[in-house]
């Protein structure tokens, strides 16, 4: 082989998962989901619907089942492509729960006690502080380590969990020799942090009591328009980025995410126009951005057989890959082969 021809570089592997929470907001989409879709071309991507994590809080069986399937369909509608990526449902691949148990035995009580999400969630669900809520990070570590992922795209709220996954991997490797790839966090270059439309000092969240604070990807156009018209602004009456203009800054970020225009372009375009016009324009841009996704979702959710085919195919591949790691782990610990 001539020296100047090098083998194509092996693509790095990415793993990420998202909980089937029932509502995916435009904040989730612009902040995370849209980036996943883009990553598919440059990385070997493995994505999952984290339905095992979801039962750390009580779920209504009927609604839960619906939410899992809808989350799956919505992600496909957004552009997750099972020809390019592996996209499965966590509970369909049994190695996750199995490795989670093993990793629990290599994770310290003190480490789990320090997780801020555990502290927050146990305060919020004081009547159900279950062991799963506590050991949630070991399951998340299992998700990632099973696939020997190099990179894990996550939001800021999951950074501490990823740090713990790295520690668990290093600890295990330290005892038994190299078994797991120690994953790095992946912070996407772009990805606006979308804030609440009612209190722009807070992140947009579907658990906000005020439904006007968030916009769901699948909200109807009328609902989207109504929510944007009610968005809080300021008394400055100028469409531009500025201090003390959190509401307008947020609307500009949303407009920019939906249209690809820069803040300066948006400011120029709305020079001399009022906030009413601007809010209508942002609403319309969001409606247009999500129209094809909503249409695709409506079509996919009717086609249960197609969805089933996709998640089965992906689960089969995921099992194969993860089983390799799992078998290695079992052997290193000293279990008898099956």
Collapsed DSSP state (helix, strand, coil) of residue 126: coil
Annotated catalytic residue within 66, 84, 206, 261? 206
Tokens at residue 311, please? 């998640």
Q: With CB under 6 A, what is the number of residues at the site for ligand TRP?
A: 13
Collapsed DSSP state (helix, strand, coil) of residue 325: helix
CB nearer ligand TRP, residue 166 or residue 227: 166
Instruction: Count how many Cα atoms sit within 13 Å of the Cα of residue 60 in the half-sphere of its side chain.
Output: 5
Q: How far is the CB of 192 from ligand TRP (least distance, A)?
A: 18
CB nearer ligand TRP, residue 154 or residue 300: 154
CB nearer ligand TRP, residue 50 or residue 225: 50
CB nearer ligand TRP, residue 92 or residue 229: 92
Q: How far is the CB of 298 from ligand TRP (least distance, A)?
A: 26
Q: Beta-carbon neighbour count of residue 313 at 10 Å? A: 15
Is position 158 an interface residue for ligand TRP (rule: CB under 6 A)?
yes
CA distance 155 to 193: 10
Q: Which of 325, 324, 327, 323 is nearest to 338 (CA)?
A: 327
Is position 152 an interface residue for ligand TRP (rule: CB under 6 A)?
yes
Instruction: Give, as ranges, the residues between 53 and 92 that touch ligand TRP (CB under 6 A).
Output: 53
Q: How far is the CB of 331 from ligand TRP (least distance, A)?
A: 24
Q: How far is the CB of 131 from ligand TRP (least distance, A)?
A: 17
Q: Which stretch binds ligand TRP (CB under 6 A): 15-23, 72-80, 123-131, 313-321?
A: 15-23
Residue 158 is given by DSSP the state G
203 assigned to active site: yes
Is position 195 an interface residue for ligand TRP (rule: CB under 6 A)?
no
Is position 50 an interface residue for ligand TRP (rule: CB under 6 A)?
yes
Q: Which stretch binds ligand TRP (CB under 6 A): 152-160, 210-218, 259-267, 272-280?
A: 152-160
Burial class (CB in 10 A: 0-12, 13-18, 19+), 53: buried
CB nearer ligand TRP, residue 152 or residue 204: 152
Is position 21 an interface residue for ligand TRP (rule: CB under 6 A)?
no
Tokens at residue 306, please? 């197609």
Q: Beta-carbon neighbour count of residue 27 at 10 Å? A: 26
Annotated catalytic residue within 203, 227, 245, 279? 203
Per DSSP, helices labelled H in the chain are: 26-28, 34-39, 51-54, 61-78, 95-104, 109-113, 116-124, 131-146, 159-176, 221-229, 246-259, 263-269, 275-302, 304-333
121 assigned to active site: yes
226 assigned to active site: no
CA distance 13 to 302: 32
CB nearer ligand TRP, residue 52 or residue 281: 52
Among 13, 14, 17, 138, binds ligand TRP (CB under 6 A): 17
Strand partners, 47: 16, 87
CA distance 208 to 261: 29
Is position 121 an interface residue for ligand TRP (rule: CB under 6 A)?
no
Non-local CB neighbours of 297 within 8 Å, separated by 6+ positions: 73, 74, 77, 218
Map residues 173-192 to x or -, x wherever contact with ligand TRP holds by CB under 6 A: --------------------
Strand partners, 186: 153
CB nearer ligand TRP, residue 183 or residue 247: 183
Active site residues: 121, 203, 206
Instruction: List residues binding ligand TRP (CB under 6 A).
Output: 15-19, 50, 53, 140, 143-144, 152, 154, 158
């Amino acid at each position: 082989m001539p020296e100047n021809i090098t083998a194509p570089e092996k693509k790095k592997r990415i793993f990420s998962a998202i909980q089937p929470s029932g509502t995916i907001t435009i904040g989730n989409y612009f902040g995370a989901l849209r980036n996943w879709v883009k990553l598919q071309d440059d990385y070997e991507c493995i994505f999952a619907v984290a339905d095992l994590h979801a039962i750390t809080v009580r779920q209504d069986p009927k609604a839960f089942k619906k939410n899992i399937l809808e989350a799956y369909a919505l992600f496909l509608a957004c552009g997750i492509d099972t020809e390019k990526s592996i996209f499965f449902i966590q509970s369909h691949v049994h190695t996750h729960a199995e490795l989670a148990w093993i990793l629990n035995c290599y994770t310290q009580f003190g480490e789990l006690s320090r997780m801020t999400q555990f502290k927050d969630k146990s305060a919020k669900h004081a009547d159900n502080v279950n062991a799963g809520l506590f050991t949630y990070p070991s399951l998340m570590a299992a998700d990632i380590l099973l696939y020997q992922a190099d990179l894990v795209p996550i939001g800021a709220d999951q950074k501490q969990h990823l740090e713990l996954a790295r520690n668990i991997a290093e600890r295990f490797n330290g005892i038994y020799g190299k078994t797991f790839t120690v994953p790095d966090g992946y912070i996407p270059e772009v990805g606006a942090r979308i804030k609440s439309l009612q209190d722009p000092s807070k992140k947009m969240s579907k658990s906000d009591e005020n439904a006007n604070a968030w916009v769901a990807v699948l909200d109807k156009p009328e609902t989207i328009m109504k929510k944007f018209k009610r968005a809080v602004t300021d008394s400055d009456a100028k469409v531009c980025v500025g201090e003390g203009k959190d509401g307008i800054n947020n609307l500009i970020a949303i407009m920019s995410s939906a249209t690809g225009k820069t803040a300066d372009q948006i400011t120029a375009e709305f020079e001399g126009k009022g906030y009413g016009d601007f809010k209508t324009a942002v609403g319309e841009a969001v409606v247009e951005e999500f129209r094809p996704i909503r249409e695709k979702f409506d079509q996919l959710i009717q086609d249960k057989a197609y969805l089933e085919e996709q998640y089965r195919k992906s689960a089969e591949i995921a099992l194969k890959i993860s089983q390799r790691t799992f078998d290695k782990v079992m052997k290193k610990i000293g279990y008898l082969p099956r």
